[in-house]
Structure 1
Amino acid sequence: MRCFIFVVFLSSVAAWSEPFRPWLIAAYGDTTNQTDRYQMGNDNTVIDIYTNLMWESGFLNVSTINLANKNCVSLFKNGYSDWRVPTVHEIQSLLDYVNAPGINEDYFTSLPSNESVLVTSSSSLQPTDLVLVVQQQTRSISSQYPPDMNVRCVRGPQRTAPLDRYTKFQYADKNFVKDQATGIGWMTESSAIWFCDQAVDLSQVWTPTIKALFSLFNQSNSPLIDEAVFSLPSMLYLGSSTPVAGENGYLWAIDGSTGLFQTVPLLGPAMAYCATVQLD
């Protein structure tokens, strides 16, 4: 079976004409079918209002990562030449974890069910060459390496982590931080995955979506998550509130040792960092 992938890679290109601003909180939600989210541009381009990114609506099959990067850097569409290969977090922002086929087909060309998406940049904050595979149909992110690749180029402000990324605060006598890169608040101690939604003294706290949780991870650094801020759980997996499509009773989680995605039972061995921003 032939396997296709998308590539993301960050290179030095012309700057986006607008300053970087954090994504809208709704960009970290499980769906991508919001009626006000996308706008069609010229030359088969799509503007994502939630992330301030401009995308190709289609994709190109490439044989190597270098060709993917070369294709995006040399691209001229909709009057712009500052295209690049997207990062893994940017590609993930297009995934719909609720509706099939996993991407909004009103705006983007979808991949067939047996094809996957390859991303090569491990983090939207400090990208590297690390190869990560995003499977559009299952919405998973792993480190597998299929032989063929697809690239969907993007242009937009490249996210950089603020020097003082996390600001401490307290809520109901619990230690929290606000992530200045995303606007999401986090409890710094991990808890049982059910705790976030059921703690009576934390009425404004809930279990994060998989997109929100993944924003904390950076595979280009060791450790993968800021251990000076977050107390790592003894259990292997950090859970989310995002259900696994087609698998009743399972949720998406992230392997704390690799930063890659796993599925865990609803009552399975996963901890969670509670979030304090509601995700629509």
Structure 2
Amino acid sequence: MKKKHIALALILWSLPLLPVWAFGVTDTGQTTCFDNEGNAIACPSPGQPFYGQDGNFLINPPSFSKTDSDKTVTDHATGLTWEVKTAASLEETVTQTEALAYIDGLNAEAFCGHRDWRLPTILELHAMVDFEHDGPAVDTDFFPNTQKTRHYWSSTTSEVEGVTKYYLLNFDLGHVSNTTNPDTAATVRAVRGAPLTNPSRYHLNMDNTVTDFNTGLIWELKTQENTSDKWHQHMAAAYCNDLEIGGYTDWRLPTIKELLTLIDYTRTEQPMLHMPVFTNSVIAFHSEISACYWSSTTSVTPVIQTGKKTMAWAVDIQHGVTKRGFKTSQDNSGDAFRVRAVRGGQALQPGGLVITNPKPGSTWHKGDTMLITWENPSPEIPGNVAIAISCDGGKSFASITDDTPSDGAYSWTVTEQDDVNGVLKIMPLHGAYAARGASTGIFYTECRKYLCAIPHDDTTREIGSQAVIDVKLSTAPENTVAFDVTCSDDTEARVTPKALFFSSENWCDTQYVTVTGKDDTEADGNQDYYVNVSVNTEFTKDTSGFAALAPTQVSFTNIDDDTKQSDGEGSVKAADGDTSGGCFIGCLETL
């Protein structure tokens, strides 16, 4: 194993000491690929029919070990420890109140030496599900005596439009449902460990995509034009495979576990997504009973109906539950749901390398030692490998090492990096095996905080024409962030408003600055100036880092109407000048 230090010319934001594992969405366990008739097939390659389904991709594979004399199981992918049920529990049912009392009893007796047992959240229960199997859809080697005909209580509730709902999971298929009746007969499995919550931690990439800090996934942001489009499941996968947004072409249909992480159970209105990030997310129309989005995960339980026998999983964003829909079959029938593309994780290559660390969704900081690990297939790929890192989601890469033994591990010390969308790539150097490399993401080498200012135009005119600047924050602040808006030359233009305020509620709402040209009555030619957006420290209450942002400047040219320059057709031409625009990153190092 080798160790190497590498420095990339990026700006560090903060210096925590340890890598952080955020949400830890786990792989579904589904490794088999299917056609539309439910037949198992060899997992297709890009460009082949049925490519883009769950079995083509891997993200955080489950890893269990038995602990406490087989009374508990530790899930190393999530860090949670689960109670193992006994045969006597197979016939037990409890209400929601009784489930909480059961947890209290475990803590009172210090079950397995611990007093921090609790009811799992619905996302934690769902993370246990093995979608390669059913009846029960769980790894029975580690979780014996799992009831497949009963629901399991979670601690998750919602209060949508004044109605309290309790969320449960059925391990027969891995189905998430809800009930308004807390006296429903269900069962209980205790868990301990840091809760896998799903707080609103999103980063707008300003290119119609958004990064989820917790899962390490980049999501498509729908537009008003395509938010209502509905597809059969295989066409939904094809839509994602053909999508190009933000300069990326590796979009895919999300797995059912990935898709469920978008649900915000704290919402009091429909849809149950974090708003305003997912603003163009429709709920059901009047003729529909739900608003479902397809996943890439096939239901392995066959359902025989006329012309239909294979189903795939979907998430209902109106109710926060999972459902199944029919795939298209030979008679071209099947359910049509909506689609939201995702990228992240790693595409599996037959006979290729598999990266096991870093994990998608993890965060790394200056001075951290990142142990890069990977698995070599059997038979092994001969020769050494090269390792590279991308700080722009995989568009470009910088070398970590050009040549190291393919022994499954490489130690790298992170220095001076600032990136949200990190991707790691490992490439065999043996020419015959070059295509069997692997890449994984998205992880973070820092969370950038910046102001994005995008002008619609770069000129104003003395006759009073206007330009508009769209202003957003990259991510949610913890408290209010105030900005002053000024013009470098008040004789050439005026700006309105002169102050902007962002909060955790409106951080990704576009605010607009209007720039109006002023007439100075002098034949002084075209004049360059800039609009300055700077933090007002007096009114900024946020302490998460936005107060240290450098000023953002957007350049303009005010066209002089007293001295006209003809282009041969009588029109007015602006003098050449700086036409800067786009996203301006103003990060200052904090010590």
- TM range, normalised to the smaller chain? 0.7 to 0.9
1:239 aligned to 287, 291, 294, which one? 294
| Residues 172-211 of structure 1: pairs in structure 2 closer than 5 A | 174-189=207-222, 190=227, 193-194=236-237, 195-199=239-243, 202-211=248-257
CA offsets per residue over residues 160-208 of structure 1, 9 Å max, x none? 4556x110125xxx51111112221111115652311233674321110
After superposition, the C-alpha distances for 1:35-55 in whole angstroms (9 at most, x for unaligned) are 870011105011000011010
Go from structure 1 to structure 2 and tell me whether the alpha carbon gap of 1:162 and 1:38 turns closer, same or farther (over 3 Å shift): same
User: Which residue number corresponds to residue 273 of structure 2?
Assistant: 225
- Whole-angstrom CA distance in 1 between matches of 2:63 and 2:187: 24
Number of the residue aligned with 2:81:
54
Q: Does 1:277 pair with 2:308?
A: no
Shift of 1:118: 3.1
Distance 1:244 1:162, change over 3 A: closer
1:225 is paired with a residue whose SS is coil
Tell me which residue corresponds to 2:541: none
Shift in CA distance, 35/181, structure 1 to aligned 2, threshold 3 Å: closer
CA distance 1:102–1:130, shift in 2 (3 Å)? same
Aligned counterpart in structure 1 of residue 190 of structure 2, from 140, 147, 153? 153
1:35-184 → structure 2 map (5 Å cutoff) = 37-43=63-69, 44-58=71-85, 60=89, 61-75=92-106, 76-100=110-134, 101-122=136-157, 130-144=165-179, 147-162=184-199, 165-169=201-205, 174-184=207-217
The answer for the alignment partner of 2:323 in structure 1 is 262
Is the contact between residue 122 and residue 218 of structure 1 (CA under 8 Å) also seen in structure 2?
A: no
Structure 2 vs 1, CA of residues 154 and 113 (structure 1 numbering), >3 Å: closer, same or farther?
closer
- CA distance in 2: counterparts of 1:35 and 1:250, whole angstroms: 23
One-letter amino acid matched to 1:232: S
Q: Which moved more, 1:94-103 or 1:65-74?
A: 65-74
Displacement, 1:157? 0.5
Q: Give the Cα separation in 1 of the matches to 2:244 and 2:197.
A: 36
Q: Against the structure 1 CA distance between its residues 45 and 277, is the aligned structure 2 distance closer, same or farther, given a 3 Å change threshold? A: same
TM-score normalised to structure 2 length: 0.39
Shift, 1:237, TM fit: 1.4
Structure 2 gaps of 5+ residues are 1-18, 32-59, 159-163, 285-290, 303-308, 329-334, 349-591
Question: Aligned residue for 1:21?
Answer: 21
Report if aligned partners of 1:121, 1:132 keep a CA contact under 8 Å in 2: yes
The 1:221–1:28 alpha-carbon spacing in structure 2 relative to 1, beyond 3 Å, is farther
Please tell me whether residue 213 in structure 1 is matched to residue 213 in structure 2: no
Matched-pair contact (CA < 8 Å) for 1:255–1:262: yes
Alpha-carbon distance between aligned partners in 2 of 1:266 and 1:62, rounded to the nearest angstrom: 35
State the 1:29 CA deviation: 2.9
SS at structure 2 position matched to 1:67: helix
Structure-2 separation of matches of 1:116 and 1:203: 40
Q: Report the Cα offset of residue 30 of structure 1.
A: 4.1
CA–CA distance in 2 between the matches of 1:138 and 1:161? 23
Indicate the RMSD between aligned Cα atoms, in angstroms.
3.0
- Rounded Cα–Cα distance in structure 2 between residues aligned with 1:186 and 1:218: 15
1:65-90 deviation per Cα after TM superposition (whole angstroms, max 9, x unaligned): 22211222332233211110111111
Equivalent position amino acid for 1:96 in 2: D
Q: 1:199 is matched by which residue type in structure 2?
A: L
TM-score by length of 1: 0.78
Distance, in Å, in 2 between the alignment partners of 1:265 and 1:204 is 26
Q: Which amino acid in structure 1 is aligned with residue 80 of structure 2?
A: L
Decide whether aligned partners of structure 1 residues 37 and 31 sit closer, same or farther in structure 2, where only a CA change above 3 A counts: farther
What is the distance in 1 between the residues matched to 2:260 and 2:85? Answer: 25
Matched to 1:264, the amino acid is G
Q: CA 1:249–1:21 in structure 2 vs 1: closer, same or farther (change >3 Å)?
A: same
Over residues 75-111 of structure 1, what are the superposed CA-to-partner deviations in whole Å (9 max), with x where a residue is unaligned? Answer: 2233211110111111111111112330111111243
> Between Structure 1 and Structure 2, how many residues are aligned?
252
Q: Which has the higher contact order (CA 8 A, sep 6+)?
A: 1
Structure 2 residue identity aligned to 1:237: C
Q: 1:222 to 1:30 in 2, by over 3 A?
A: farther
Partner secondary structure for residue 254 of structure 1 = strand
Contact 2:72–2:84 (CA under 8 A) maintained in structure 1: yes
Between the aligned partners of 1:105 and 1:35, the Cα distance in structure 2 is 16
Cα distance change, pair 62–263 in 1 and its aligned pair in 2 (3 A)? closer
**Quick check: 1:30–1:209 contact (8 Å CA) kept in 2?**
no
User: Matched residues in 1 for 2:20 and 2:112: separation?
Assistant: 20
Give me the whole-angstrom Cα distance separating, in 2, the residues matched to 1:276 and 1:131. 31
Deviation at 1:149, TM superposition (A): 2.3
